Structure 1
Amino acid sequence: MVDRESVRRWVAGYETAWRDSDADAVARLFTPDARYARSPYDAEELVGHDAIRGFWTVDEDAAFTMTAEPVAVEGDVAVVRLEVRYTAPDEQEYRDLWVLRFADDGRVTDFEEWAYWPGKAWTASP
């Protein structure tokens, strides 16, 4: 069973690993067969530690702030709302929702990201 505090700890670990480009943290955060979808329509979702590690790098000059708060936790699933602001090398803001499914050991087995940023259309209509 997952609770808000365990979700906050997992997200903090994710942020630290992402900030440090710590590819070894993938094994601490994700199960060996974890699925990682960078979008709900990701046709090429990442599966397993090696695939996630390959994606797990940040530009060494990147500087960002991140705030996150679980908005729903039920059973082994959590939804987290995030705001990420890159300040270098380019300024960019994202607001995300993460849908996370946790394994019994506290690692994530299924990660789905819903990312939005200013200027991106929110509708398919012209």
Structure 2
Amino acid sequence: MADAITRWIDDYRRAWESNDPDDIRALFTEDASYRTEPFAEPWDGHIEIVEGWLDARDDPGAASFEWRVVGQDGPQYFVEGVTDYREGPTYSNLWIILLAPDGRAQEFTEWWMEQDADDE
């Protein structure tokens, strides 16, 4: 299943760069839940996820992203990442992704913390 998370993150990056609603929808089950912060109200289902994503979208090429799996519990993955905006801050990320049997996310929760510029 580790290949499943690699495929999913590759597809996430494609959607991140394209902001194409079809690419975004393809990542998630129809009833998926996407939380932009652990305690935020989720975006539920394709309509809310696509709308929320596009409201917060980045321009193509605005950031690089490096990641690694730090844990797995069955179909649930814990991913540590670093997002480096070319003209802005760098963020440490933690993602919790619950994959459905078809490889799409049923649940996605992200934490993003701005790194101190002095630490870069």
TM-score bracket, normalised by the shorter chain, equals: 0.7 to 0.9
Q: CA, structure 1 residues 59+76, in 2 after alignment: closer, same or farther (shift >3 Å)?
A: closer
**Pairwise CA RMSD:** 1.5
Q: Secondary structure at the match of 1:56?
A: helix
**Larger-Rg structure:** 1
Contact 1:82 1:97 in 2 (8 A): yes
Deviation (angstroms), 1:56? 2.0
TM-score (norm 2): 0.87
What are structure 1's unaligned runs of at least 5 residues?
120-126
SS at match of 1:7: helix
> In structure 1, what is the Cα distance between the partners aligned to 2:4 and 2:79?
12
Q: Select which of 31, 36, 39 maps to 1:38.
A: 36
5+ residue gaps in structure 2? none
Aligned to 2:20: 22
Structure with the larger helix share: 2
Provide runs of 4+ in structure 1 moved above 4 Å: none
Q: Tell me by how many angstroms 1:115 deviates.
A: 1.2
Report % sequence identity.
31
Q: 8 Å contact 2:16–2:60 — kept in the other structure?
A: no
Residue type of the partner of 1:37? R
Instruction: Confirm or deny: 8 A CA contact 2:65 2:81 kept in the other structure.
Output: yes
Corresponding residue pairs, total: 114
SS in 1 for 2:86: strand
Amino acid at match of 1:108: A
Per the alignment, residue 54 of structure 1 pairs with 51
- Pairwise mapping of residues 1-126 of structure 1 onto structure 2 (< 5 A)? 3-42=1-40, 44-57=41-54, 58-60=57-59, 63-88=62-87, 91-119=88-116
Q: How many Å separate the matches in 1 of 2:101 and 2:2?
A: 15
TM-score, L = length of structure 1:
0.83
Check whether the contact 1:8–1:70 (CA below 8 A) recurs between aligned residues: no
